[in-house]
Amino acid sequence: LSYKISNSITRPLQKLMDHFEVAGKGDFSLRMTVPSGDEIGKLARFFNRFMEQLGQYHSDLKQQIQVRQEAENSLRQSEQRYRSVMASAADPIITYDMEGRVTYFNPAFQQVFGWSLTECLGKKMDHFVPQENWPETIVMINAIKDGRILTATETKRFTKSGDIRHVSISGAVLRDHEQRLSGSVVILRDITETKKMTRQLMDIGDNVRQTIGQDLHDDLCPHLIGIGGLASALHATLKENGSEGVGLSGQIVGLIDDAATKARGLSRGLCPVHLVAYGLHSALGQLAEHTEMTARIRCTFNGDDSLNITDNTVATHLYYIVQEAVNNAVKHAGAAAIDISLGEEGDYLHLLITDDGHGIDEKGSGQVDKGMGMQIMKYRVQVIGAFLEIVSSRDKGTTIHIYMRKSEIHTAGETAGTAGAA
């Protein structure tokens, strides 16, 4: 009897242990037979419920693992495509983590700047930012950190050999698969050759402009003056003889004088002789006087006499920038007063042009537009390595600031001379 009782207990328990061992290997399908409502039966029912729940958990876990694996595979494929796109891109591309350490850059980056990924991976690239370009670099870094997309911002970067490259930077934040910030990606388009070509084209245009202006001054103006002298003599003769054509001849004399005056003004605008002979201060003063005389508005110039700009290239570009701004104010903004000033602010040369014209409206029409004149003004600013800021609002006039590092004025002249000689 005791053997039967013992066997009725030990056998179900052994079977239960065997089932647990099978379940431990991942098979949760086994169930216990519930013989009765005694303790063994209760234990069997508990085991069956436990196996059902465990089987369900196992099934759910497998499904979650599968979903996660598919997501990881998709992410891996996406990263591979992303890396393939960057690797094949013609422009240098570099990615950083949130601490500013390099996580990747493409072959184009190595080709342009000279560093290999092996020597830069996990390190910061502070050494390839020139000291003078850190202010705008910090602004760009903060813009990207704030989640803004950076587009075509011009600055300079060192190469491994110490050369300077002009670059146009675009960038944005990087996010992981859970949309958390994980770093940043920056594209550095090398525009060094483009800037050299732009400078050369500007120089060619300025040379043509000066040639035309010189021809007007040396040829057309004397020719008109000669015709004016003959017309005046004819007018005097007709007047002395009491001829009926005296009135008409007087009008002809007046028109010829006007034509000569306009030709001299056009010549002065195309070829500012004061700029070459006496410098930028004198040329801007003459421009202000000529504007007052021809446009019949108030136009003043105030300059720091101690500021001597001997760099002809920089002086020429600054003169034409002011000339374009003044023309815009007179012809498009209806200005009654224009003020021009040239001085220093710390390490910067500061050129300021203000007018009381109608400015621009919210849609961007008016004085400051996307016309050729404004684009050329911006190109000139970029060519000499300066910064342009335009502040304008409707019916409140326009203020134009041009800032240029004083340390770059001589360097810009040397670069221009080399480009021109080439």
- Is the confidence at residue 193, as pLDDT, over 80? yes
- Torsion sign (Cα): 254, 260, 263, 268: negative
What is the pLDDT confidence band of residue 36, given thresholds at 50, 70 and 90? Answer: low
What is the pLDDT confidence band of residue 8, given thresholds at 50, 70 and 90? Answer: low
CATH number, domain 89-190: 3.30.450.20
Reported as a single tens digit per residue, the pLDDT across 226-268 is 999 999 999 999 999 888 888 999 999 999 999 998 888 888 7
The phi, psi pair for 344, rounded to 5°, reads -120, 145
pLDDT of residue 419: 28
Reported as a single tens digit per residue, the pLDDT across 91-119 is 999 999 999 999 999 999 999 999 999 99
- Is the confidence at residue 351, as pLDDT, over 60? yes
Q: Quick one: average pLDDT of 171-185?
A: 87
Q: Which residues are CB-contacts of 116 (< 8 A; sequence separation ≥ 6)?
A: 110
Between 24-28, 94-98, 218-222, 381-385, the lowest mean confidence (pLDDT) is in 24-28
Q: Quick one: average pLDDT of 395-399?
A: 88
Reported as a single tens digit per residue, the pLDDT across 112-160 is 999 999 999 999 999 999 998 898 899 899 999 888 899 888 899 999 9
- Is the confidence at residue 386, as pLDDT, over 60? yes
pLDDT of residue 44: 80
Angle at 188 between CA 183 and CA 190, to 5 degrees: 170
pLDDT of residue 6: 57
Burial (CB count within 10 angstroms: exposed 0-12, middle 13-18, buried 19+), residue 266: middle
pTM: 0.58
Read off the tokens for 310.
Answer: 């001997």
CATH 3.40.50.300 fits 278-422, yes or no: no
What is the pLDDT confidence band of residue 292, given thresholds at 50, 70 and 90? Answer: very high
- Is the confidence at residue 418, as pLDDT, over 60? no
Give the containing element (helix H, strand E) for 401.
strand 398-405
